[in-house]
Structure formats: structure tokens, C-alpha cells
Structure 1
Amino acid sequence: MCGAHSFGVSCCGKAESMGLHMVSAPDATLKRWIADFRIESSLILSPDLPELKIRLRDCELSIQNAGKSDLPSEALAAQLIVHAIDIKEAEALADARIREILDTLSFATSCSFRASRLRFLMDWTPGLEVRQAYVYGGQDGGTERWADLALDNLTTTAQLESCHGIARLRTPMRWFSAGVRATFPEDQFQYFWFVLELIAELTKSTARVTDKCPHCRSDLFCPTCNCVPEHRPFQKQAIQALLDRLNVSPDMQRDLFFIRNGIMHGRTRSEIEDEIKERVAGFEIAYAVDFIWQTAFAAIFNALQLKQSQVDQLVLGSPDTVVRHQVTMKAHMMMGTHGDPNDPKIENVVLPTITAIRVNKHGQEIDPATGAVIERK
């Protein structure tokens, strides 16, 4: 399993197979819901083990190997039973709990688990002839592509590669590339922040600086020495100086440092967003990611120290956003199932096929892989 590990860590107690926690009795006003997930994982069940089941304090989990019709990246199927007042609350609860449980499972196994998609969410209350459900579709596991790569892009790459200053910027550019291709906004923010840290260190002034009062930003005075102490810039001061040179406002700098510290200290995305929303209405972390992406780009570009004649020859791309968005179709429906209504089973659920058709701005159907218009005869 994931290779042999030997780090000299001892654990007290004995690992039990299943059923470590019993489900607490649900509130009588809560309905029973089942959420059917697909999981990307480096572990699968052995061929002679068709299913694993476990009862947790607030939910029940079943896991099987993924089927032949699932995406190639999906290794497992998982059903999570939760209790909630309505389908919207059940959707939010199931999404949060499957992530938490998979995080714990990753810790317990030191192997990767990630919920890739939710196939359906259904009222699983015994005795129902017709059940309320969300049925999801439209995810093909692909990545959006634009047919815009041209010779100018390669020519610009060649010109940048020939720049005298690029050698010292290899590491910042590696982190920039990681930020552009990362899946999650928090990871993207961190990678672009690494760029700022590295550029700040490479370009910081040797001039001595003073520490500032956190309230009025005046120089701090030492009464014992009867002077204002000076020192070489610390890393935070070097980053602030870089952001000043890039004309980033003090309020934006404050929010960038707040987001960075929040991520580093384990705050959730919603916690970070809620606090910033108190001073910036409608804030989403995606906005900060796009801002720090542009800031990191400017920091690297300035560090290249190109002549204006060189800049004039470059063709540089600038997408609307680097944050990944996934479009998922969701149908809210009432549907029946086969079998005994008092003992509903996952194998008795027959889902409708939901297909997302991509179109261009003219309403013409396009190939999502190439962007080419599909001609229907």
C-alpha cells in the first residue's frame, strides 16, 4: 500500500477494521439523503472485496471500485448518507463532509484521495415512491482550451530565453508556471506569493530601514538608545517595498498579507472571504488570485530589465482569469426508483443522461477540445 514506510512512528492502540463510531440518532425533522460521489485515489479495493462500509458519528459511508463507465482518473465510487432538512442543506453538508473524511483518510493512509464529482443527491427516506433528487452532468474531465497558440508566442519565448537576466529568474518563473496551472485558488495564491518573495529578495535595496508603528506607520523610537533603530530589510519589508514599486495600494497590500497569513495558518476560504467582505463587498478569493497573478507577472517582467526596443517586439498573452472554473449541469427533479421503497438500494437508481453542449458567442455548437464549429447534418 503506497510502498513501504518506516519513519519510526509508533501509534498507541490497535487499528480496527470498520464501525469505529456509531451514527448518532438524527433529529426527527431531518430527512435522510444519499450522495453518490466519484473519487480520484491512489488506493483501490482488492478484487475479492466488493465494498467497504463504515458508520461515523453523523453519516454513513460506502466505498466501491469505480465502474467501467466512470472517468479514467476516477478510482473509487463512494456513497455518503447524511441527514438534513432539505436538499440544498444536504448538498452543502455532503460536499463538506466528503472532503473532511477524505482528508482524514489521506492522513490515515498517507495516500491521495480527492472527490472529483457528485453524480446525484437523492432523498433516501424509506417508504417513498417518488424521490426528490439533484442529478449532475456535463463534466467530461477535460480542460478548456483556446485555439490561440501562434508563432508569435514562440518568438516571444525565444526572445525572453535570450535575455541576459533570465538565468536568475528561473525559480520565480517555475513558481509562476505552477500558479497558472494549479487547480485550487489557495494553491495558486501561494505559488504567486512565492514569486513575490523571490523577486523581493533578488531586488531588495541594501539601504537600511526602520520599523513602523502598526497603527500610525510612524518610525518606532527606542527610549533606551534615544534613537530610531535601523536595519537591513526583513523579508516582509522587502515584499512591501516591491509592492510599493509596483504601485499596489496600502489597502490591497493589507489584504494580500491577510490572505497569505490566513492560508498559512489554516483558515478556510470562506473564513478569509467573510472577513474581507466586511470591508470589500462581494469579495471572492478568485479576485485576489487574479490580482496577485498580474502582480507576480509584473514583478518578473520588471526584473528582466528589458530595453524598450526589446519590449516592443514581445507579444504577451493575458487571459481574463487564471482561476479554473468548472461548469456542471444540475437537474432538480422528482423520480422513482426500482425495488422496495422501504429498502432503497443504490443499484436500483437509474439516472437520466444530462449532456452539456458548448456553443460559441453566436450560439453554434463547438468542439470543446478545439473550439471548432460542429456542423450537424
Structure 2
Amino acid sequence: MAAKAVLFGTLSATTTGKPGCERQFMRCVAHFEVISEVSVVSDHRILTINDPRGAFVARIKNIQRFEFTTPFLLSLHVYFDAPTLNDAKDIAEDRLAVCLNMLAFTTGSRFRKHRIRQIADAEVRPNGAIRDMLMWGDSIEYDDPQPYLDDVNANTIERLLEFDVPPAIRRALRWYRLGIDAATPDDQFTYFWFALEIVAEFQKPVAKVNDKCPHCQSALYCEKCDTHPQHRPYAKQAIRALMTAADENCDDATVALLNMTRNSLMHGSTLREIEDALPDPHESVVDTLGRILWNALVRQFPQEIFKQPLVMGVPSTYVHYKTTGVAHIQTVVPVDSEGYLDLDLKGVTMAMQSFGPPQSAFPSVVRMTHEQSDRLRKLSYGEGGHQEMLVRIRQQYREKEGHIFALVLSTDMAAILSALENGEGGAWQDLFREFIDTAETVR
């Protein structure tokens, strides 16, 4: 199957709709893979869901597994209309959400998007016609962790555990953990807010406060009773007091923004739907709330605990951003007898490859002379079982003060040390023996 890469562009759309309607749309199909607890009763059967209003047609089938160490996935194709191919992704995600919501509602089982594979032009065309397609690269095989955990982290946890954490704060810590882990910014914000409400209710002051005028916020006065009516702080007031106490940069505008976001999410909106009312990028509201919540949780521990140095980390962002490669290609897509496209496309692949093998520890730096770096460079162009490793090291050269410094991934360093410790012979092994004692861990 031939395929050629082309630049991103906007396709001309076909005119659809009622007579006199000039709106421009094209038929598209999106190919998703979905993680599910349930499967179609037969591997050769395709379930079709037709939206009564014509918004989409969904076709669902099993992806057969031949290695049962891999997760079970459903293949879900969604046909829908979009202005252009490049505008189709957001519409496809909305149509997918409708399908997954109804599948979960009617089966009581879990359904979760695994990844999107393609979005293709699904207009009626002769079989064998060239079609435009957006193809997403397979996710990188692995995500390396950030080397971070050390004895200082264990010591910090032991120090914090000296305090008998109240049950309410334990629940808040649980929601904070779930918020960090949640897959979408909407869920992250909601979970963080749950934690904030728990902490605010837990430390809500007993002292009563004045009822306030809804316009000027001054204390209301009852002429008949000749007094200012008072009450215990409402939940909203307790949350505001907690936020402003936890973060000195939390002003009235920030409180209003977070309250508006909370109300919108709790009443069915999404962050994307209210993005015009949020800072740019709209996901940053999650980081604002996460930072305030973390400060509030820290304040629940006795301050004397922090008289000794403790190591605690907060992320630069709580939102889980992912790198995605998308290619715009033109290729032939087979059409079945019912007019549906076969998007398996075994002859066309799009992949994202990482720089090196998985690693979980810090990399190292080795120091070489110019003559040694030239020898390593020549060896990297030769043949052997470690060429990819040598190429990676060669690509990470830096010159400083008359020496060449090279970055070595922890996985590669483990292979090198194992070869040297086992007394392996060879040109690259002999070369590394000359400077392996210069290796230093990069933190």
C-alpha cells in the first residue's frame, strides 16, 4: 500500500444539508482504541450504533490478542461530519465521549479511551481513490520516570508521620493523590476541590461571622434587633478563608476564578467549554488550585515538624501533557461492501521512537580526550552488537576545557560496566577501560 507524506492543509469540503444551506462539511471517520472490561461476543462481529439524530455512526469490534500480556482493546470507528479534516479531532472526541458514556451507562462496565489512531476523509469516492488522512504515531514505548527518590524523601515521610494525621486530612491527602493521578484536567480540578473542601470544613473556625451585604460585602444590620446578625462561616466562606491564608498571592480575582470554575464543572460544563473565561492555557487553573491545596495541606501539620530540613517536591504542572506525532498522508484506503473504510492499514505505520532504551536512574558523564572521542566515533560507524549504544554516546558529545564529555544513559552504563567487569574483549570495551574511571553521575 503506497503512502506519501504531505504538509498539513485544509481540505475542500463538500456541501451538505438542506437546500439553500451553504454550510460546508465533509464526512470523516476517526479510529480509536478503547480499553474495556467487556468485549463483543464474537471476534468477527461488528456492532453498529446509529445516532438517531444523525450526528454519528459508531462501529465497534474486538481487537484480537495473540499475546495475553497485552491489554484487551476494542476498535471503535466513528463516522461524523466536520468542516475540515484538521477540525475533526475535537468533534471526534466529543462523539467518542457520547459513545463511551452510553456504553458505560448501559453495561455498568469500564470504558476508557486508549489512543486515537487515524482520522480519514470518508466521503463517497470510487474504490481505490486516494484519500487524505491524519495518522497519529504510536505512543513512545515507555515513559522514563524522573530519578528523584532518595534517603532524604524517606526521612521526610518518617518525620511527617510523627504527627497523628486526623482522619479528615487523611481523606484530603487521598483526594490530592487521586487528583495528581487523574487523566484529565477536569477530573484533576474536581478532585483537588474535594480535598480543599474537606480541609476547609475541618479547620472551619467556631467563631461566628457577620452576615454580609451581597452588593458591598459590609456587615448587615437589623434595625429591629439593633444588632449585626451572625452565623458560623458557610462552606464557601471557609474555603475562601483557607485559600487566602494558604497562599498570599490568592486575591479576590483568583478566588472568584476558582469558584466559577468549580461551579461550571459541577453543573456539567468542561474546562474546554469555558476556556474563554479562563487564563491561557485554560488548564493552568488546575495548577493554581493544586498549588493552593498543597500549601493548605502543609499547614495542617504542626509547624515544629518543619524546624528540621525536609525535602518536599511540587510539580511545575499537575496537568499530564503528552507529546504526539501526527502525519498528514495521502493513501488508498480499502472500502468494504457496506461502504465503510478499512482503517487497519497494515502497510502504513507511524511511530514515535525514543532516544534510547528505558532508564530509571540518573545518567552519567564520561571524560575523553579528542583522540579517544575520534576512536569512539569511528567504532560507532562500524558493525557490532552495540552500535546503537555507541551512536547514542557519540550524539551526546560536549567539548569543555580541552576534553570531550559524553552523556551515557544509565541503561547503557549498566551494559558497559557489566562488559568490563566480565572481562569482555573488543575494541569498544578496551576503549571504555581507558576512561571509565572518569564517569560521574549527573543529578
Same fold (TM over 0.5): yes
Aligned residue pairs total: 341
Task: Report if the CA contact (8 A) 2:122-2:341 is conserved.
Answer: no
Deviation at 1:343, TM superposition (A): 4.8
Please list, as runs of the form range in 1=range in 2, the aligned pairs for 1:62-73 lying within 5 A after superposition.
62-68=59-65, 72-73=70-71
Partner of 1:110: 108
Aligned to 1:273: 275
SS of structure 2 residue aligned to 1:219 = coil
Q: Which amino acid aligns with 1:257?
A: N
The counterpart of 2:75, out of the listed 77, 83, 96, is: 77
Q: Give the Cα separation in 1 of the matches to 2:344 and 2:320.
A: 35
1:180-221 deviations in Å (ceiling 9; x for gaps): 111121221122222222222222222110122233221123
Structure 2 partner of 1:176: 176
Decide whether aligned partners of structure 1 residues 368 and 100 sit closer, same or farther in structure 2, where only a CA change above 3 A counts.
Answer: farther
1:198 & 1:39 partners in 2: Cα distance?
34
CA distance in 1, matches of 2:350, 2:44: 31
Q: What is the aligned counterpart of 2:320 among 311, 320, 324?
A: 324
Q: Does 1:259 align with 2:288?
A: no
Out of 297-306 and 106-115, give the one that drifted further.
106-115
Q: Would you say 1:346 and 2:335 are equivalent positions? A: no
Q: Measured at CA, do residues 85 and 184 of structure 1 come closer, stay the same or move farther in structure 2, by a change above 3 Å?
A: closer
Q: 1:45 aligns with which of 36, 40, 45?
A: 40
Q: Deviations over 1:36-83 (max 9, x none)?
A: 110111211113652112322222211100233899344210111112
CA shift, 1:140, in A, is: 4.5
Does structure 1 retain, via aligned residues, the 8 Å contact 2:31–2:343?
no
Q: Is the 8 A contact 2:168 2:199 kept in 1?
A: no
CA contact (8 A) 1:338 1:348 kept: no
d(CA) in 1 for partners of 2:144 and 2:296?
28
Change (3 A) 1:37 1:371: farther
Cα separation, partners in 2 of 1:42 and 1:142, compared to 1, 3 Å: farther
Does structure 1 residue 157 correspond to structure 2 residue 157?
yes
- Written as runs of structure 1 = structure 2, the 5 A alignment for 1:23-34 is 26-27=16-17, 30-34=25-29
How far apart in 2 are the matches of 1:26 and 1:38?
29
1:260 maps to amino acid? R
Q: Which has the larger radius of gyration?
A: 2
Q: Name the CA distance, whole Å, in 1 between partners of 2:343 and 2:293.
A: 50
Counterpart secondary structure, 1:370: coil
Query: What is the CA–CA distance in structure 1 between the aligned matches of 2:46 and 2:338, rounded to whole Å?
Result: 22
Distance 2:344 2:108 in 1: 35
Q: Is the 8 A contact 1:135 1:351 kept in 2?
A: no
Query: Does 2:308 match 1:294?
Result: no
- List alignment gaps of at least 5 residues for structure 1: 1-24, 359-364
2:371 paired with 1:375: no
Deviation at 1:255, TM superposition (A): 0.8
Q: For the structure 1 residues 141 and 324, does the alpha-carbon distance in structure 2 shift closer, same or farther, using more than 3 Å as the test?
A: farther
* Whole-angstrom distance in 2 between the partners of 1:26 and 1:370: 53
- 1:173 Cα offset (Å): 1.4
2:301 aligns to what? 304
CA distance in 2, matches of 1:330, 1:92: 15
Tell me the equivalent position of 1:101. Answer: 99
Q: Say whether 1:201 aligns with 2:201.
A: yes
Cα gap change, 1:371 to 1:352, in 2 (>3 Å): farther
Listed as ranges, the gaps of 5+ residues in structure 2 are: 1-14, 19-23, 364-387, 392-443
Aligned-residue offset at 1:224: 4.3
Q: Judging changes above 3 Å, is the alpha-carbon distance between structure 1 residues 261 and 343 closer, same or farther for their aligned structure 2 residues? A: closer
Q: Structure 1's 124 and 64: CA in aligned 2 closer, same or farther, altered over 3 A? A: same
Q: CA deviation at 1:340?
A: 8.1
Q: CA deviation at 1:376?
A: 4.6
Query: What TM-score does the superposition give when structure 1 sets the normalisation length?
Result: 0.81
Q: Deviations over 1:132-180 (max 9, x none)?
A: 0001113147555212221111111111111245666322211211111
Distance 1:241 1:343, change over 3 A: closer
Is the 1:120–1:133 Cα contact (8 Å) retained in structure 2? yes
CA distance, structure 2, for counterparts of residue 348 and residue 233 of structure 1 = 59
Partner Cα distance (2:161, 2:64) in 1: 46
Q: Where does residue 232 of structure 1 map in the other structure?
A: 232
Residue 221 of structure 1 contacts residue 228 of structure 1 at CA under 8 Å; is this kept in 2?
yes
Q: Residues 192, 348 of structure 1: CA spacing in aligned structure 2 closer, same or farther, 3 A cutoff?
A: closer
In 2, Cα distance between the equivalents of 1:348 and 1:41?
20
DSSP 3-state at the match of 2:289: helix
SS of residue paired to 2:303: coil
- Asked if structure 1 preserves the Cα contact closer than 8 Å seen for 2:140 and 2:353, the reply is no
Tell me: CA distance 1:201–1:31, structure 2 relative to 1, closer, same or farther (3 Å): closer
Distance between the aligned counterparts of 1:221 and 1:299, measured in 2?
33
Runs of 4+ off more than 4 Å: 140-144, 164-168, 338-344, 371-374
SS at match of 2:86: helix
Q: Percent identity?
A: 28
Structure 1, 92-101 or 46-55: larger mean CA deviation: 46-55
Does structure 2 conserve the Cα–Cα contact (< 8 Å) formed by 1:166 and 1:304? Answer: no
